[in-house]
Amino acid sequence: MKQTTKDATVQVQIVLFALIRLVFNTTYRMIYPFLSVFSAGLGVDLQTISLALANRSLVGVLGPFLAVFSDRRGRKIGMLLGIGLFIAGLLVVAVRPSFSTFAIMLLLTTLGKYGFDPAMQAYLGDRIPYQRRGLALSVTELGWSLSFFIGIPLVGLLIERGGWLSPFGWLAFAGALAGGLLLWLLPRDAVSAANHAGAWSNLGRVLRSPPALAGLAMGLTATIANEVVNLVFGVWMEDTHNLTILALGGTAAVIGVAELSAEALVGGFADRLGKVRAIRIGLIGNTLAALTFPLLGGSLLGAEISLYFFFITFEFMLVSSIPLMTEIMPGARATLMAFNVAGLSLGRAAGALIGPSLYDWGIAASAATAIVFNGLALLALRQVRGHLSALNASL
């Protein structure tokens, strides 16, 4: 009975984590489909706002230092710190809207997200066996896909009715509500003296670990492949098919369905396939999907089909990689997951920097670049498997 109660409590916490991540990720992702709307509202061009997005992604390099805080003070405190930073960022731009405060908002909300996610993943990694961890983490990742399926269309509706600034106050309120629920429902986790002593040394341990570095390189390159398309798909759809704001929100929902499907697939198959095999399938599928952009993108239906398969394969790969990364260095779990977030954010920064220039040559150039970086991710995955060959049966 005691174990059943414990399992039920963890299940409730997993659902709460997914809802919190829905709010975080709606804020993080709403910039992409409404890039031209925010640019016009702020009075800046696409290149300027893309630079702000690149700077936002670079904030991820601070994630490992927040993970040290989580290791020393506990996972719950680390998650609450992330939520606090998130709310502060939204209030800055809601109270005093300008491009400067918008850029500050991007930095603070992203820092909050990158503080919350590794602490949450480490919390579940501490409590759920590796053989079942793919299912548990795939549920928390629903907060990513549902942000495009539910959150972004709602943001589109708010913008349509109240202008570009209207979503920020509502998102701050949702963040405050989420923080209150977390404070109430999550017990404060005990931190051992060993965690206090070893928190800072974990930074060096990660940087000296070949499988950890290979895993980080895999996430970095795969994220660049995704970002060079993710950054410009809204502009591409608007340029090619003259979509309205609400129609762009509908396209975002199509992507949300793709990612929701991917997370369901990870929950159903990643633990049985093995995480390495699932990641490989995702990368190869994403490469094939990128090939369809110049072939099918001339029609609206074809473009949406291409986007669907591009995002479902990337999300399948990414979600499958999270449980793998949580097991590479169990003794430095929070720190490695924070490094993983940092690697993903650097990938987004690199993609944001090169994405607009690539799009000057058309969507085919973006697709070709995605294919190249997916190839590099496959090579890095091969290195992870090689370094961890003794664990192949479980990976």
The whole-number pLDDT of residue 214 equals: 92
- pLDDT tens per residue across span 314-340: 989 998 998 888 888 877 777 888 888
User: What are the angstrom distances between the C-alpha of 20 and each of 87, 230, 386?
Assistant: 12, 23, 36
Averaged over 341-345, what is the pLDDT? 83
Q: What is the pLDDT of residues 164-191, one digit of tens each?
A: 999 999 999 999 998 899 888 887 766 5
Domains of the chain with CATH codes: 2-388 (1.20.1250.20)
Helices 233-241 and 300-328 sit at what angle, rounded to 10 degrees? 170
Only one residue has tokens 């990643």, namely 270
- Among 336, 224, 330, 235, which residue's Cα sits nearest to residue 286? 224
The residue among 134, 135, 123, 125 whose CA lies nearest residue 395 is 134
Both tokens of residue 339? Answer: 């490094």
The per-residue pLDDT for 59 is: 74
| Mean pLDDT for the chain overall | 82
Q: What is the pTM of this model?
A: 0.74
Of 329, 366, 331, nearest in space to 228 by CA: 366
Tokens of 309: 């398969």
Q: Which residues contact 8 (CB under 8 A, 6 or more apart)?
A: none
Confidence of residue 221 (pLDDT cuts 50, 70, 90): very high
Is the distance from CB of 217 to CB of 344 less than 8 angstroms?
no
CA dihedral defined by 340, 345, 348, 352, rounded to 10 degrees?
A: -160
Q: State yes or no: pLDDT of 20 exceeds 80.
A: yes
Instruction: Say if residue 204's pLDDT is above 70.
Output: yes
The pair of structure tokens assigned to 259 is 């990612």
Q: Which two tokens stand for residue 113?
A: 């997200």
User: Which pair of structure tokens corresponds to residue 261?
Assistant: 């499907």
CA gap 274, 287 in Å, rounded: 21
The pLDDT of residue 297? 64
Q: How far apart are CA 267 and CA 82, in angstroms?
A: 26
Q: Comparing 196 with 102, which gets the higher pLDDT?
A: 102
Amino acid at site 52: A
Residue identified by tokens 């895999």 is 218
Range of weakest confidence among 14-18, 48-52, 161-165, 256-260:
256-260
> pLDDT higher for 104 or 305?
104
Residue 286 has pLDDT above 80, yes or no: yes
